[in-house]
Each structure stands twice: as structure tokens, then as C-alpha cells.
């Protein structure tokens, strides 16, 4: 699999102790080639509490990030440092491209809002006609105030005004905050402007420098993950099942998971309550409880190669008598 690694390597952004992937093409490649699904946790600014249909970025486990680095498929990038370096390296051409892209996105949003407003108006008229409440003589429309006229020009068709604001002195404010305050309102009203950071991320402006930080998960846990992943299993976090990994025989969108995996040291003591509870839990959710760890070689009878690369042993427990 390492021979199929794309060039340049995938950028895994290190942000506040988490390993994130933002590029959807990289995410598709990791899923199809390296059996890594990760965890999507991106939400919309207008719906911070949503917990379904999450989007980018994708968070990788430490074991996943470490394996990609070891196989030279990805590199860890310190997101904060890379962003600062990219901003410093911006040329005037880059800045002009950013502002032009933001203007284009705002024009699309303005047009979409205008079309949606017209559709709602037409639907309201049709409903009024169907219910017999439609007035043949239109009601008198009050003249808009200067503030209302400016607001209408901004959202109902004011692409030129938005372009002037984005291309003028307010452009820097838009890049940093994504908001615009109308001066005629005394600074009380804010208009949300869509940010273009997803399309012009720091990694697209300048090739980021690889961070010295390398994921360092516990050795036994990493070796167990690496062993099962090499057998073709898709691994996902197992916190909700009280284990470390959940192993799927194929893509989780098509297969039910088979194992609840817990890594242990070879001579680590295991409580009988944990053994019974894990076995009952795994069987109750139609999975097998798997204990795995690095095999401890006998120093008296093993050769040097076996000592340097001990194998992974797995034991599965299934509780009998469950329906």
C-alpha cells in the first residue's frame, strides 16, 4: 500500500492535540486504500448543536496518524505555525485572489437569497388566491427609509456594493471575522459574510513545513492496531462500547463490526469483572470481546529476531447462552 502513496504526502494538521484532515480527496484516499474512516465532527455555524450529518474536518486517532507517518503516506503539520507562515508569505496577487473569491461567493449567495425570496412570495400569493383572501387592489406600500434601501441593495441585488466593500478597506476585516457592520445602524447590525477559508486554506497558499511532532500512542495499543489494520480490518474508536477499538471486516457503511478490541500488556493483570463484563457486553451487542497484546518472547529460547519483532496474540471471548 505504501507504493501507492500520493506525492506530495497528505497533510495531517495538528490542532490542539488532535490530528485533522481537511481535504476531501485525502479523506477518500485514506478510506479506500488505508481503511481509515476517522471521525467527522464539523458543524455549521448556524447549528452548533447538531450531532448528525457532520462534515469536515476528519479527526484521526493517534494510531492512524502514527501509521501514516511511519509509512510515509502523510506528514504532521503544526496548524498554528503553518498558518502564521502562510499569512506572512501572502503576496499581493494572493490577496487579490482571496478577495475576488470572496466576492464571487457573496454574489452567489445574494442571487440565491433573491431567488428564494421570490419563490416564497409567489407561493404566498398562490396560497392567498386559493383561500380567497387575495386582494385585487394591492395595498399601499410605504416608501423605504434610507437604511432599508441600503439593506435591500445589499441582499436583494447589491452585488456591486458588496464587491466594493470586499475589495476596499473592509476586505481585511472580512478575512479575519467574516462579518460586516453597517455604519448607518450605529454598529448594531451585523451581516454574515461566508468565509472562503475552506477553499483557500494555508496549505494551498504555501507548502507547509513538516512538524517535528510525531504521534506517540502506547506501544502495545499501536502494535495491536497496526496488526489488525494489516489484516484488512477497518478500525474505529471504541469508547461507546467500553473498549479501545471497534473492528469491522469491511467498510462500516456495508458491514457490522465483529470485535470489541482491548489491548493489554502481556503480563498485565485483568480483573475477572472486566473479563465477564467485556464478554457479556460484546455478546449483547452481537460482537466478540477481543483481548490483544504483544507476545512476550522467552529470552532463554528465542532468537534476536523474535525479540526485536514480537508477534501480536489475540484472544476472543463470547458469552454463551445469549439469545
CATH number of residue 14's parent domain: 3.40.1170.20
Q: Which of 217, 250, 280 is the last residue of a domain?
A: 217
Alpha helices in the chain (DSSP H): 24-34, 62-70, 79-88, 92-131, 146-155, 159-167, 171-177, 202-205, 219-230, 272-284, 304-308
Domain shared by 166 and 240, yes or no: no
- Verify whether residue 248 is a known catalytic residue: yes
Name the more confident of 136 and 233.
233
Name the more confident of 141 and 83.
83
Q: Which of 186, 217, 248 is the last residue of a domain?
A: 217
Q: Which of 190, 217, 244 is the last residue of a domain?
A: 217
118 has a pLDDT exceeding 90:
yes
Domain shared by 23 and 51, yes or no: yes
At how many degrees (to 10) do helices 62-70 and 219-230 cross? 70
Catalytic residue among 108, 129, 256, 286: 256
Maximum average pLDDT range among 49-53, 214-218, 258-262, 305-309: 258-262
* Pick from 74, 85, 75: nearest CA to 211: 75
Name the more confident of 64 and 50.
64
Domain shared by 186 and 110, yes or no: yes
Q: Quote the domain boundaries for residue 243.
A: 218-323
Alpha helices in 132-264 (DSSP H): 146-155, 159-167, 171-177, 202-205, 219-230
Domain shared by 29 and 39, yes or no: yes
Q: How confident is the model at residue 23 (pLDDT cuts 50, 70, 90)?
A: very high
Name the more confident of 173 and 232.
232
Domain shared by 113 and 84, yes or no: no
Domain shared by 17 and 66, yes or no: yes
Give yes or no for a contact between 67 and 35, defined as CB atoms under 8 angstroms apart: no
Catalytic residue among 29, 248, 258, 262: 248
Mean pLDDT, the chain, as a whole number? 76
Q: What pLDDT digit, counting tens, does each position of 64-117 carry?
A: 999 999 999 999 998 888 888 878 888 888 888 889 999 999 999 999 999 999
235 Ramachandran zone, left/alpha/beta (phi>0; psi -120 to 50): beta
Domain shared by 278 and 178, yes or no: no
Domain count for the chain: 3
Domain shared by 286 and 263, yes or no: yes
Domain shared by 233 and 142, yes or no: no
Domain shared by 175 and 246, yes or no: no
Domain shared by 11 and 63, yes or no: yes
Beta bridge partners of 202: none
Bridge-based pairing state of the strands 74-78 and 10-15: parallel
Q: How confident is the model at residue 14 (pLDDT cuts 50, 70, 90)?
A: very high
pLDDT at 125 (0 to 100): 87
Cα–Cα distance for residue pair 17/20, rounded to 1 Å: 10
Q: What pLDDT digit, counting tens, does each position of 175-184 carry?
A: 333 444 444 4
- Verify whether residue 287 is a known catalytic residue: yes
pLDDT at 140 (0 to 100): 58
CATH number of the domain to which 247 belongs: 3.40.1350.10
- Verify whether residue 256 is a known catalytic residue: yes
On whether the pTM is more than 0.85, the answer is no
Amino acid at each position: 500500500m505504501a507504493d501507492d502513496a500520493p506525492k506530495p504526502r497528505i497533510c495531517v494538521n495538528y490542532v490542539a492535540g488532535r490530528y485533522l484532515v481537511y481535504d476531501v480527496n485525502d479523506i477518500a484516499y485514506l478510506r479506500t486504500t488505508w481503511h481509515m474512516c476517522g471521525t467527522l465532527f464539523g458543524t455549521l455555524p448556524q447549528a452548533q448543536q447538531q450531532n448528525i450529518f457532520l462534515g469536515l474536518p476528519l479527526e484521526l486517532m493517534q494510531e492512524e496518524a502514527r501509521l501514516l507517518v511511519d509509512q510515509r503516506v502523510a506528514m504532521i503539520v503544526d496548524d498554528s505555525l503553518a498558518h502564521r507562515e502562510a499569512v506572512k508569505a501572502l503576496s499581493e496577487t494572493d490577496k487579490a485572489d482571496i478577495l475576488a473569491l470572496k466576492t464571487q461567493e457573496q454574489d452567489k449567495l445574494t442571487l440565491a437569497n433573491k431567488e428564494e425570496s421570490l419563490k416564497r412570495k409567489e407561493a404566498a400569493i398562490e396560497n392567498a388566491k386559493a383561500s380567497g383572501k387575495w386582494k385585487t387592489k394591492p395595498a399601499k406600500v410605504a416608501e423605504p427609509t434610507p437604511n432599508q434601501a441600503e439593506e435591500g441593495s445589499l441582499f436583494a441585488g447589491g452585488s456591486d456594493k458588496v464587491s466594493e466593500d470586499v475589495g476596499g478597506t473592509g476586505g481585511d476585516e472580512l478575512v479575519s471575522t467574516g462579518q460586516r457592520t453597517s455604519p448607518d445602524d450605529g454598529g448594531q447590525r451585523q451581516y454574515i459574510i461566508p468565509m472562503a477559508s475552506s477553499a483557500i486554506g494555508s496549505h494551498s497558499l504555501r507548502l507547509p513545513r513538516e512538524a517535528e511532532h510525531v504521534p506517540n500512542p502506547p506501544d502495545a495499543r499501536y502494535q495491536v492496531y497496526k496488526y489488525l489494520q494489516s489484516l484488512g480490518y477497518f478500525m474505529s474508536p471504541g469508547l461507546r462500547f467500553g473498549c479501545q477499538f471497534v473492528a469491522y471486516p469491511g467498510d462500516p457503511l456495508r458491514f457490522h463490526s465483529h470485535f470489541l478490541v482491548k489491548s493489554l500488556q502481556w503480563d498485565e493483570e485483568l480483573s475477572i469483572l472486566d473479563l465477564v463484563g467485556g464478554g457479556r457486553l460484546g455478546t449483547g451487542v452481537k460482537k466478540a470481546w477481543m483481548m490483544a497484546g504483544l507476545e512476550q518472547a522467552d529470552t532463554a529460547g528465542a532468537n534476536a529476531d523474535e525479540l526485536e519483532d514480537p508477534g501480536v496474540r489475540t484472544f476472543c471471548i463470547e458469552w454463551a447462552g445469549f439469545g
